[in-house]
A and B are shown apart, each in its own frame.
Chain A
Amino acid sequence: MDLMTLLQILDSTVRLGTPLLLMCLAGLFSERAGVVDIGLEGKALAAAFFSAAFAYYSGSVWVGLLAGVLAAIAFSMIHGLASITFRGNQLISGVALNFLASGVTVLIAQTWFAQGGRTPTLEEGRYSNITLPFAESLQDVPIIGPIYYELISGHSILVYVAFLLVPLSWWVLFRTRFGLRLRAVGENPAAVDTAGISVQRLRFAAIIIAGVLCGLAGSYLATALQAGFVREMTAGRGYIALAALIFAKWRPWYCLSATMLFGLLQAIALRYQNIDLGAFVIPVQFMNALPYILTIVILAGFVGAAIPPRASGEPYVKER
């Protein structure tokens, strides 16, 4: 394998890993605050549709992004209303949101565009790829040049945003008062409540952040990687992001490595399909299943324990 092939695979890894990373961080904020969010998939799907639809109407990708983020936040609020305010089961609420998104996007798309549940192909209103400074001129420098030009430069802005969000998430969660309280709400909401801080408000703040991040992910899928929305276009990425979150043991930097590892596995699977190792052949299905297998291995405690936030999944009931 030469350098060029390697770079192409890594380039593909970044493209495939970015939506996972954004959704994984969304799940991180939500679950750290004690709200299990299985609805990442649905939120990203809704965001993908609305960002494509509004980018089509306005011709501007930013209007699309805003619409996508708002749609994802709206879904977050439904989740919050059901599972925080009314203390319903978080898993059921999340699953319901996934079904709602799957149906409602196609329904609205069919009503607005009558093209079989998808948006028209976007001519404008897509993200353009950013060429970083000096990328062209450094291109011929051995090794560093191609790495900079092929791998680091030439992605859409959301990729750079996603990577910057990793240290930012770490800083917010572990170095700010808000982050401390947010994590405390996920571990021991009663203690936070005793200190006179509203558990509900903190949890709502967390799921709104999750909504924004899912909005970015959906917008990236529909208007950066693709030029429009097709039904079910998230294709299970929300669930892989959840697996990555467990794999990352609910830590921001591990989120980055987990999602990029999963992206790499997909990129290798797409590039080589069946991998012939001489003695035996690894079928492509195995590569596709590997993220889930790895997650189970982690959950089984082979590589250190994966301990979720203690109050995760439990609605908080104030003592009277």
Chain B
Amino acid sequence: MTLMTKILGAAATGLALTATASFADPALIYDLGGKFDKSFNEAAFNGATRWAAETGGEFKDIELTSEAQREQALRRFAEQGFSPVITTGFSFSTPIANVAGDYPDTKFVTIDGWVDPDANPNVLSIGFSEHEGSYLVGMIAGEASESGTVSFVGGMDIPLIRKFACGFAQGAKAVNPDAKIIANMIGTDPTAWNDPVKASELTKAQMSQGSDVIFAAAGASGLGVLQTAADEGAYGIGVDSNQNYLYPGSVLTSMLKRVDNAVYDAMSAGADLETGVQVKDLSNRGVGFALDGYNETMIDFDTLSAVYAAAGDIVSGEIEVHDYTVDNTCPAVEF
């Protein structure tokens, strides 16, 4: 029996090695939100499909159904010789840190997560400068607002979400120093990501305090915000993916987090992928705002040129957008 296992084990290792040598296709693991979430994970899928279409390459992907599958999926892809193994969502930080050491020849990528590059030299951690993108949509909101009050609805009250709110507030203040900014969080536990009912009420409460442009960074709850804004005749601003098409004429723009580009770049680099820590910001078009057929007539040219100028200034360092997560304070808004 033991001998048998050894032989089988050896055979399996041999197969895995041949697999690595002959081809190293990339693999993609989505977070629990699922492949078609219209937002974060779907952006990753879109990036991968674009890479496949342009290069004729192939990739494997998997959707998780439970927390426990994270490590399992990572190990399976690594053992089958896939590289790089790309994951979306900050929850992959720990599983990757646990697994990466066992597969030194496989490269792992975590989008939104963070793995110590010294301890795990074969991992690339990709972060985004959400505050810069939020600053730009904040400017658009400040210009579009007639009441001078704009607001922010966050999902769970975590530093990452405050980073969105802080950038947004700074942008609105930049175009209208007297702008009143209301920032509320839906809750302090994970149900906040899936409570559109509460998000709707929060939006209504903000609107009754004068807000007429509402930026939602709240996962699936954000749909409640955009829905209410559309129902009540205010502007909503989407997040992560381009959500302009959801409620045409009501979604002013969307703050983009180019997860698709991050995936595309990682897949293009393939085996030569540089590991370490990467920050996707305005300068490498990692964040931005969405302008398309649905909203091009809703934003006037003066606003657009001001926003593009500000984007240039942020890249050149002339404007410095404060990052909430650096010191856990925000100069532009109180929480």
Which residues does A use to contact B, with CB under 8 Å?
Answer: 4-5, 8, 12, 15-16, 19, 110, 114-118, 121, 221, 225-228, 230-233, 235-236, 266-267, 270-271, 273, 284-285, 288
Contact = CB atoms under 8 A, between A and B. Distances in A.
A117 B193 CA distance: 14
B272 to A, nearest CB: 33
Interface string B207-239: 010000000000011011001000000000000
B202 interface: yes
Nearest to A15: B201
B170 interface: no
B121 interface: no
A116 B38 contact: yes
A121 B41 contact: no
A232 B221 CA distance: 11
A226 B191 contact: no
A285 B188 contact: yes
Given A232-B191, A235-B191, A270 B205 contact: yes
Interface string B278-319: 000000000000000000000000000000000000000000
Top 6 nearest A-B pairs (CB, nearest first) are A116-B37, A116-B34, A235-B195, A232-B194, A230-B220, A235-B191
Contact of B194 (A121, A230, A270): A230
Nearest to B231: A227
Chain B's interface: helix, strand, loop or mixed, by majority?
helix
B201 A16 contact: yes
Interface string B176-195: 00000000110110010011
B246 interface: yes
Contacts of B188: 285, 288
B75 interface: no
A8 B37 CA distance: 33
Contacts of A288: 187-188
B49 to A, nearest CB: 15
B227 A235 contact: no
A110 B33 CA distance: 11
B106 interface: no
Given A117-B34, A121-B246, A230-B196, A12 B227 contact: no
Contacts of B198: 235, 266, 270
B200 A235 contact: no
A225 B191 CA distance: 17
Contacts of B205: 8, 12, 267, 270-271
A208 to B, nearest CB: 26
Given A228-B223, A233-B197, A235-B197, 6 more contacts: A4-B208, A226-B200, A226-B223, A230-B221, A231-B220, A273-B184
Contact of A116 (B33, B187, B200, B208): B33
Contacts of A114: 36
B258 interface: no
Interface in B37-96: 37-38, 41-42
Contacts of B33: 116
Given A231-B220, A270-B202, A226 B34 contact: no
Contacts of A230: 194, 196, 220-221, 223
Contacts of B223: 121, 226, 228, 230
A117 B223 CA distance: 14
A267 B200 CA distance: 11
Given A12-B204, A270-B184, A233 B196 contact: yes
Contacts of A233: 194-197
B173 interface: no
A121 B227 contact: yes
A110 B202 CA distance: 28
A59 B208 CA distance: 31
Contacts of B38: 115-116
A236 B191 contact: yes
A231 B220 CA distance: 8
Contacts of A117: 34
